[in-house]
Amino acid sequence: MTATRTPSREIAIGGVYAFVAYLLWGFLPLYFLTLAPTGAWEVVAWRIVLSLAFCAILLFVVRGWSALWRIVRQPRLLGLTALAGALIYVNWQVFLLGTLSGHVIETSLGYFINPIVTVLLGVLVLRERLRITQWIAIGIAVVAVLVIVVGYGTFPWIALSLACSFGLYGLVKKKIGPAVDAVSGLTLESFWLFPIAIIQLCVVAATSGLTLFTAGAGHAALLLMAGVFTATPLLFFAAGTRRAPLTLVGLLQFVAPVLQFVTGAWLLGEPMPFERWVGFALVWVALAVLTVDSLIAARRGRAAVSDVAELT
């Protein structure tokens, strides 16, 4: 006899899945740095090709071809998966360029800003109404970016590109909804990007040369694991979001940028002048405001549901 999982147990399992996903994303910079001398363009290309191969194997294992075929027969869903693929490609490429050029701290800033971008997209695209505290958080984040630009003397294009691309990716995934499962979605996104990956590999081969199988067996084994390292956290994330409430997932998402920040600042010794500390501190204040507001709103929502239940 199979025991039925209680809602609280499902939420706990979902929280663990989401935490594992963010933990893996947090350590990704260290993995990509071990792939030297492979450059960002080659890494992303192999990441796409090997993710597609890994997803194809998963489809065979879980017998998910019928679910994939149902999606293929719906042009709207196909178009959305293509758009999602384009956005995640931008995210992957910028992330690799930042990581392999000594800007891990700035990549962490992008994922710190991402929740605020997501809230802003809710207003601009979904016509959602923001509470005053959410507007305050957005205002503080804007000031933080201005402080970094003016004080540090550079425009944080890596951080803003990552925040916007992943925020838009999340918006597209929300539009897709439960109609596309995690494995099928990642398979189609990788499929759309496959021609771009082949072109990138050809260009790299004709210019600097491909590094696969040229830097030793250990390097080749690590590079061939790029598909697994790409797909695994995405699948954990999908499993977590199906079980855990968004408030819990939202709180856990700070695990990844915190680990990336620690990697850049303490393990890699990237510079953190005073102006950048001020900018990051302002971002963290904005996130604290946003988090407290989300928790209060969620608590009020549960209380309202409970009151309605008592009246019926």
60 is a domain residue:
yes
> 């082949």: which residue's tokens?
198
Number of folded domains that form the chain: 1
Give me the pLDDT at residue 2, please. Answer: 45
The three-class DSSP label of residue 2 is: coil
Q: Is residue 2 part of a domain?
A: no
Indicate the average pLDDT of the chain: 86
pTM: 0.86
Would 1 be classed as within a structural domain?
no
H helices present in the chain, as ranges: 7-33, 40-62, 65-72, 75-100, 104-124, 132-152, 157-176, 182-206, 217-224, 226-243, 246-252, 255-262, 274-311
Using an 8 Å Cβ cutoff, are 136 and 308 in contact? no
State the angle between helix axes of 182-206 and 226-243 in degrees (0 to 180), rounded to the nearest 10: 150
What percentage of the chain reaches a pLDDT higher than 70? 93
pLDDT of residue 311: 54
Q: How far apart are CA 124 and CA 167, in angstroms?
A: 12
- Specify the pLDDT at position 264: 93
> Alpha-carbon distance 42 to 115, whole Å?
29
**Interatomic CA distance for residues 283 and 116, integer angstroms:** 9
CB atoms within 10 A of CB 177: 9
> What average pLDDT values come out for the chain (312 residues) when binned by 10 residues?
62 86 92 94 96 92 89 93 95 95 92 84 77 85 84 84 90 82 89 97 96 93 93 84 71 86 92 87 87 76 58 56
pLDDT in tens, 174-214: 788 778 888 898 899 999 999 999 999 999 999 999 999 99
Predicted pLDDT of residue 297: 72
Identify whether 3 is part of a domain.
Answer: no
Q: Record the tokens describing residue 223, joined without a space.
A: 């590079």
Residue 54 lies in a domain: yes
What residues make up the domain containing 194? 8-311
